[in-house]
Amino acid sequence: MESQRAAAGRGRSGRAGGQRVRGHHQARPSASESLVTMPIEALPAVLAPVVEIPRSEMWGSNASSPARRDQETPPVPSPALYVECGPSSGASTPTTERPASLSHVSKEARRELIPSSSSSSRSLRDEEIMVLLNYGSEEESEEEEDEETMQRLTVPHSTRMWLDEEDEEVERGEERIPPLPRDNINIEQPPQPLRLSTSTSPTALSPSVALGPTNKFMFEWRTAPMPAIEPDLRREPFSQISGPKVSFATPYDAFIAIWDREIMESIVEETNIYAQQLATVMLETGTIRPHSWITRWQDTDVNELYTYFAIILAMGVFIKSCLTEYWCTAQDVFYTPGFSAQMSYDRFRLLSRCLHFSNNTACDLAMLTRRQVKLYKIQPLIDHLNKKFAELYNLGQNLAVDESLTMWKGWLDTNQFIPQKAATVGIKTYEVCESQSGYLWRFEVHAGHDISASQDDPISGTVPALVLRLLNGLEHKGHTIWMDNFYNSPALARELKTRGFDCVGTLRTNRQFVPYEVTSLTKRDMTVGQVMGCTSGDVDILVWKDKGRVAFISTYHGLASVTFEERLKPTVAYDYNICMGGVDRKDQQLAVYPIERRRTKVWYKRFFRRLLNASVLNSHILHQNQSFSHRKFRTVLITELLSAHRTQPPSTLTPTHVHCPAQYGLTKSGKSDRLRRQCAVCSRRTHTYCKACNVAMCIFTCYETYHTTHRHFTGH
């Protein structure tokens, strides 16, 4: 036993003095105990399965067939290295000749050559033990080895761990686990670092080779592929037929489809209720007088309300600076007799004063949120129009999400300031419009933020939740959503992609999940026209320097470029300039007919006019008649509304409507002094006036002048 231990010690020292086998860094397990107790007669039974290991199970780059394996196998070495066992022989025939090189044998096969049996019938000689222990420590051959046998493929870490466990089981004498099939092993090259362009190479982000992350919001950014994949191949398929769902013969039919009789009857009911509430309040407070305006109120009906709408629309076609000028009867170039023929000035003022959409007594503040309370006055109209706009039209592929502004300079808690908009300050709405036509499909009025939103989910914030609400009902139809950097983020882009949308737009580089290489990039790091980008598989981020640094996010564009005005620019920038202007296109068409510019002290009545104006534009798009321009459509619509809902004017004028001079009454009975008022023409005090106009004027000098040159109103 002592001699055996000494031989084992010498073997270890001999191994330490040798050179390390190329490509192997882990120390081989000690074989001294097995060599001492291993009988030479038991070697054939132990080593027979090792010799029969097929070449395909070794971790080489190529494996030859069994027929060629016998030809390529070098001469059999000594028993400690290779044991040649015949099929019927019970003893081995060792040789002392060593092969010139055994590099073609894998490390696993070499380990399996070491027997693990503990039975001892004959001890090995010292020279045999030395040969075994020093195996693989010979001098490296200067001759060029076969490239096929030396080439090694990268083995995944998980596979290497499995193989190590297998070797340990073989050394312990346990049953050998069948080798892992080669087809199931994923052999891959090391990942490349993230490079935004050929000129700059930021720090690698250790991206995964897999295209799809295991977590929806786990972004593994890597270099965008070049050449870029065609955007149409990555875009969501869109097969929906866009346009109105129902055809309309006349502008009146298209308008009535939105403002149907149901909503008109609701407005009529709420308007009549509100007029009675105003009269009751004035009686209770003692502010009502015999000649107060509320005493002339009469309940309205649907026909009169349609006529009222037509007059409002006509004010957008014929623009005047003052409301009273529409009812002027002076025979001049500004004369517009049609307004007074349809409705008197006093009646128009009464309807405008009492117009209402929600019952004040039905408002339960305890059951409403802060946002619902702010929009309570106009909420029925918002709900109705959103429903009608979505029901009547199928949107095209490209949709724009942006904000619009209705001018309001009065005090309002929800007022917003947007210097890029024409109104600059007012009531903000978030809108979804078709990029090509500007059709308003859905809108939401800004009335503060929802502070109850959870911050754990990346899409539960105020802006992502707003976008998802606006797009509710359009999922998995292949629409492309175009947004600016106020809305866009990688998390929202991925969420929209999972719901069947494409998402494109500008991006703020300080958003969550944007890689550091993009965030830290400045315009000084880039040259004019340079494009840098990265991708996470379904979301691409691109940075382009034109006059300044502009960042884009897209789910299908990649780094594709297009030639525009004799220069190369990213395709995403070219498409963004075309498709983003859906909301702005709508605002530009409405600005030509500013019916909401009339002065009022109530914000929701001005916003009602804005919605009425937008509904006319939607009606024009629903009409789908190319021969009708926008202006012609409005004029025809006004004419048809007035003819379909005309109210019968009084047949004869009452005596109070006849223009004739009269005198004011006596100040005291029994005296000749009369009441005097200031003349409307010469400003002198006079006791005469016109009965129809109820205006003081001098009869002989100012009466004719006032009625021929001064503008007066038949409504009085």
C-alpha dihedral sign at 303, 304, 305, 306: positive
User: Tens digit of pLDDT for each residue in 29-47?
Assistant: 444 444 444 554 554 554 5
Q: How far apart are CA 264 and CA 268, in angstroms?
A: 6
A 10 A CB-CB count for 312 gives: 20
Average pLDDT over residues 600-612: 93
- For residues 264, 268, 273, 278, the Cα torsion angle rounded to the nearest 10 degrees is 110
Name the residue with tokens 């996470």.
536
Q: How far apart are CA 367 and CA 491, in angstroms?
A: 34
Residue 672 pLDDT > 80: no
Average pLDDT over residues 42-63: 45
The verdict on whether omega for the bond into residue 227 sits within 30 degrees of 0, i.e. cis, is yes
In contact, 464 and 495? CB cutoff 8 Å:
yes
Q: How confident is the model at residue 606 (pLDDT cuts 50, 70, 90)?
A: very high
Residue 575 pLDDT > 80: yes
Residue 261: exposed, middle, or buried by beta-carbon count in 10 A (0-12, 13-18, 19+)? exposed
Locate all alpha helices (DSSP H) within 571-650, ordered by sequence. Answer: 571-579, 582-591, 603-623, 630-644
Residue 85 pLDDT > 80: no
Domain ranges, ordered by start, for the chain? 370-597, 661-710
User: Tens digit of pLDDT for each residue in 294-308?
Assistant: 888 999 999 999 999
Higher pLDDT, 478 or 130: 478
Secondary element (H or E) of residue 126: helix 126-133
Q: How far apart are CA 396 and CA 389, in angstroms?
A: 14
Q: Where are the strands (E) in 435-585, listed by range?
A: 440-445, 480-483, 502-506, 531-535, 540-545, 549-554, 561-564, 567-570
Q: What angle do CA 127, 130, 131 make, to 5 degrees?
A: 90
Residue 661 pLDDT > 90: no
Q: Report the pLDDT value the prediction gives residue 566, as an integer from 0 to 100.
A: 81
Q: How confident is the model at residue 123 (pLDDT cuts 50, 70, 90)?
A: low
Secondary element (H or E) of residue 425: strand 425-434
Q: How far apart are CA 644 and CA 303, in angstroms?
A: 8
In contact, 688 and 662? CB cutoff 8 Å:
yes
Residue 455: exposed, middle, or buried by beta-carbon count in 10 A (0-12, 13-18, 19+)? exposed
Q: How far apart are CA 678 and CA 662, in angstroms?
A: 15
Q: How confident is the model at residue 332 (pLDDT cuts 50, 70, 90)?
A: confident
Enumerate residues 6+ apart whose C-beta is below 8 A from 256.
Answer: none
Q: Which of 194, 191, 258, 260 is nearest to 221 (CA)?
A: 194
In contact, 667 and 673? CB cutoff 8 Å:
yes
Name the residue with tokens 């038991």.
42
Q: Report the pLDDT value the prediction gives residue 393, as an integer from 0 to 100.
A: 96
CATH code at 370-597: 3.90.350
Average pLDDT over residues 75-85: 42
Q: Does this model's pTM top 0.75?
A: no
Q: Report the pLDDT value the prediction gives residue 663, as an integer from 0 to 100.
A: 84
Q: How far apart are CA 320 and CA 308, in angstroms?
A: 17
Q: How confident is the model at residue 701 (pLDDT cuts 50, 70, 90)?
A: confident
Q: How far apart are CA 241 and CA 396, in angstroms?
A: 7
Q: Report the pLDDT value the prediction gives residue 194, as an integer from 0 to 100.
A: 54
CA separation, residue 510 to residues 104, 129, 235, 518, 524 (Å): 55, 68, 26, 9, 18
Q: Which of 483, 512, 649 is nearest to 581 (CA)?
A: 483
Residue 506 pLDDT > 50: yes
User: Tens digit of pLDDT for each residue in 352-386?
Assistant: 999 999 998 888 888 888 889 999 999 999 999 99
Q: How far apart are CA 508 and CA 516, in angstroms?
A: 13
Average pLDDT over residues 516-535: 90
Q: Which of 41, 66, 43, 40 is nearest to 53 (CA)?
A: 66
User: Tens digit of pLDDT for each residue in 230-280?
Assistant: 888 899 999 889 999 999 999 999 999 999 999 999 999 999 999 999 999
- DSSP 8-state symbol, 22: T
Q: Report the pLDDT value the prediction gives residue 657, as an integer from 0 to 100.
A: 52
* Rg of the chain (C-alpha set): 45
Q: How confident is the model at residue 699 (pLDDT cuts 50, 70, 90)?
A: confident
CA separation, residue 243 to residues 39, 403, 631 (Å): 90, 23, 21
Secondary element (H or E) of residue 428: strand 425-434
Residue 309 pLDDT > 60: yes
- For residues 145, 147, 149, 154, the Cα torsion angle rounded to the nearest 10 degrees is 130
Average pLDDT over residues 512-520: 91
Q: Report the pLDDT value the prediction gives residue 333, as an integer from 0 to 100.
A: 86
In contact, 275 and 297? CB cutoff 8 Å:
yes
In contact, 316 and 594? CB cutoff 8 Å:
yes
- Give φ, ψ of 562 to 5 degrees: -145, 150
- Tokens found for residue 422: 């024409």
Residue 481 pLDDT > 70: yes
- Tokens found for residue 599: 């002065």
- DSSP 8-state symbol, 452: T
Q: Which of 604, 605, 631 is nearest to 616 (CA)?
A: 631
Q: How confident is the model at residue 127 (pLDDT cuts 50, 70, 90)?
A: low
Q: How far apart are CA 34 and CA 29, in angstroms?
A: 11
- For residues 521, 524, 525, 529, the Cα torsion angle rounded to the nearest 10 degrees is 100
Average pLDDT, the chain: 75
Q: Report the pLDDT value the prediction gives residue 608, as an integer from 0 to 100.
A: 96
Q: Where are the strands (E) in 555-647, listed by range?
A: 561-564, 567-570
Name the residue with tokens 């029901």.
391
Helix then strand count (H, E) for the chain reads: 24, 19
Q: How confident is the model at residue 408 (pLDDT cuts 50, 70, 90)?
A: very high
At 172, the amino acid letter reads R
At 44, the amino acid letter reads P
Enumerate residues 6+ apart whose C-beta is below 8 A from 540.
Answer: 224, 533, 534, 553, 554, 555, 556, 557, 558, 559
Q: Where are the strands (E) in 342-394, listed by range?
A: 393-394
C-alpha dihedral sign at 591, 596, 597, 598: positive
Higher pLDDT, 613 or 218: 613
Packed helices 251-258 and 379-391: angle between N→C axes, nearest 10 degrees: 130
CA separation, residue 143 to residues 20, 101, 107, 146 (Å): 18, 10, 21, 10
Q: How confident is the model at residue 450 (pLDDT cuts 50, 70, 90)?
A: low
CA separation, residue 422 to residues 92, 434, 588 (Å): 99, 20, 10
Higher pLDDT, 125 or 23: 125
Q: How far apart are CA 542 and CA 549, in angstroms?
A: 10
- Lowest mean per-residue pLDDT among 17-21, 25-29, 320-324, 388-392: 17-21
Locate all alpha helices (DSSP H) within 445-591, ordered by sequence. Answer: 462-470, 490-498, 516-519, 571-579, 582-591
At 439, the amino acid letter reads Y
Higher pLDDT, 34 or 426: 426
Name 504's bridge partners. 482, 554
Q: How far apart are CA 283 and CA 288, in angstroms?
A: 6
In contact, 410 and 490? CB cutoff 8 Å:
no
Residue 534 pLDDT > 50: yes
Question: pLDDT above 90 covers what percent of the chain?
Answer: 41
Enumerate residues 6+ apart whose C-beta is below 8 A from 602.
Answer: none
Higher pLDDT, 11 or 184: 11
Enumerate residues 6+ apart whose C-beta is below 8 A from 199.
Answer: 530
Residue 82 pLDDT > 80: no
Q: How far apart are CA 326 and CA 333, in angstroms?
A: 12
In contact, 536 and 223? CB cutoff 8 Å:
no
